[in-house]
Amino acid sequence: MYGYAPIYYPNVTDFASASAIQLGAGKTVQANLSLVRQPYYPVKVAVANVSTGTPMNVIVSVQGRRGPGYALGYNDREQIIQGLLPNGTYTLEAAGYEPNAVAGSLNVTVHGAAVEGPPMTMVAGHPIKVDVKEEFTSTETSGFTINGGGGSSRGFRGRYLRRIVCHRGCATWTLLGANHFISRVCVVGDIRRS
């Protein structure tokens, strides 16, 4: 099967090297993008240690650099990640959500033929409890961000938050996920140890 690999403005194949197209009222921009037709090959990776019925999100990164463009799907019935990719080295990251949070990652290389990679072993997530007492003096909306360290985009990937609201404006947030760390949790309001 043939397809067109992703390309980004200004005619680059790496999302990190892409630029934003600046537009304004009454302005025009000419963008020349060269699409290249190339073969795509079947990719199939078994997923181990996940319960049937667990929703799964799969992220495909080219040589570990995150960005849009490539995708594979999760087949729950057969418990495999599958789809089509062109030649290249990819990092596959998968995260399963409730009722059992799991996460895993694996590198695969496509080189002119179909790939049936080794199984991706999923690791169970361990909850990290964060207690937040919301004390608002303005109309700001309560919120939070989770960021990875060192400029990495590994902060929230493969995790999700569950919020339980208690009496008197107190809320408990539970962060579920595996394989990654939290370097900073920012909440609008006051965070105190309980």
Taking residues 3-9, what's their average pLDDT? 88
Give the C-alpha separation, 91 to 72, whole Å: 11
Give the C-alpha separation, 71 to 80, whole Å: 14
Full set of structural domains in the chain with CATH: 2-18+34-124 (2.60.40.10), 128-187 (no CATH)
Averaged confidence pLDDT in the chain: 73
Q: Are strands 41-48 and 115-121 parallel, antiparallel or unpaired?
A: parallel
Query: In whole angstroms, how far apart are CA 171 and each of 74, 99, 124, 144, 159?
Result: 34, 21, 25, 12, 19
Give the C-alpha separation, 41 to 109, whole Å: 11
Q: What are the pLDDT digits (tens) for 39-93?
A: 999 999 999 988 888 888 999 988 767 778 889 999 999 999 999 999 999 999 9
Q: Look-up: residue for tokens 């596959």?
A: 92
pLDDT at 78 (0 to 100): 92
Q: Say yes or no to pLDDT of 146 above 50.
A: no
pLDDT at 136 (0 to 100): 53
CA angle 167, 172, 178 (to 5 degrees): 165
pLDDT at 41 (0 to 100): 97
pLDDT at 182 (0 to 100): 38
The dihedral sign for the CA sequence 49, 91, 87, 11: positive
pLDDT band at 119 (very low <50, low <70, confident <90, very high): very high
Q: Say yes or no to pLDDT of 183 above 60.
A: no
| Contact indicator for 87, 112 with CB cutoff of 8 Å | yes
The pTM assigned to this predicted structure is 0.64
| Contact indicator for 47, 104 with CB cutoff of 8 Å | yes
Give the C-alpha separation, 45 to 80, whole Å: 5
pLDDT at 163 (0 to 100): 46
